Structure 1
């Protein structure tokens, strides 16, 4: 990968007045404030447990912590807005108090949860539905002017894996982002991050086709976030359990980095940071 392959891409994020450099790929740690996320080790059972996990992530080299209070795994149970807020806001406040330097991302598709979380101290919004599940989300992001991660998904977490079909998955994801980016930029949103949505409304073949052609998304010159960590696109392909999927995660993370990924969203921070360091060593060589 040539050093200047992604030279024109946006290199910084404005996180509530703090300019964050993402010219070198970064790691985002997953912290679930819900009891039904698919990977048990990512769940925080209490505020103290959440703080302990954040300390571990920070020490391992995470730049961002992604807080989720609504499980988006296939077939996950519905969670009310009130319950999502009750899980999210106290955790944000506690983490902010103990780790004021940490950049917190709030994983929600609800505008009210996003807004209250940002006011509580979060810095980014991570929306799996790109505004499709709450018509007020784009308006809220525009008002808050914080970095907005938008993911590609069809349907809802409850039905997204009910026979997803595409004529060409990469072209449809490209078209989806093209329309969303235009809308957001017209509204005045400055910091947009794209997440192709691996594992969301996609079959095994869809996921690997999209990864194979992921560099096409560099056309938008916007930061790319990927999330493969211990997902079924690894476990099903290899016939293994979630707890055995770290090696497969590293392989896909490496592939994505070589195709232009800026942020790796992971459960295992240390290994992802090492992956970034080694790929960066390759890409920084001048011929």
Structure 2
């Protein structure tokens, strides 16, 4: 293990593996995973590209903390084309008998894909500040529920995960920094905003709202009504008081 910990690539790495379309890198704890996320993003992205993957998961054993997802396409790096990096990477992989990219090392934790984002996970950040990265990781790591982070004051979308973007059929540039009010009726949105300010966490709130849909023939965008069940938590994100939304269900009406 001493040789692995001295790796110039990933200090503290305990194992590697491939699960579906993702490269998994195992470390012992959430703290180690988060430090790796902060300090080694270009290397993580470059390693993922070497294996033809666009997603990296930093997997750990800390209970109640999510595994950290990293989209390699979001990290600008030319490391993967650097011969020095490739040489170091080859040495690193040999530590796991993976010099031929043969991932026989199976990760102990098999519940990564089944771990669901919960209100309790988000609620941990209600009273905390300067946790932007951890909050973003919760939202972007969720692959079943649509998640949103909305500025409570301006109702602007500060973050939306892939599920939320796909459900609204629009590219990120047309969703992010836009106003969510268009997908609400005025009074229900005001009542919800006040409720989240007051209670900080709201479980399974129901309301009728909208999702964007596009008429294929005309190309015209319209709002399709849905009946939503959503968990909400108030968080400080990017210096703003925000509403973290976990859309548990959305039924067309």
For the aligned pair, the TM-score class normalised by the smaller chain equals under 0.3
**Larger helix share, 1 or 2:** 1
With normalisation by structure 1, the TM-score equals 0.21
Higher Cα Rg: structure 1 or 2?
2
**Larger strand share, 1 or 2:** 2
With normalisation by structure 2, the TM-score equals 0.22
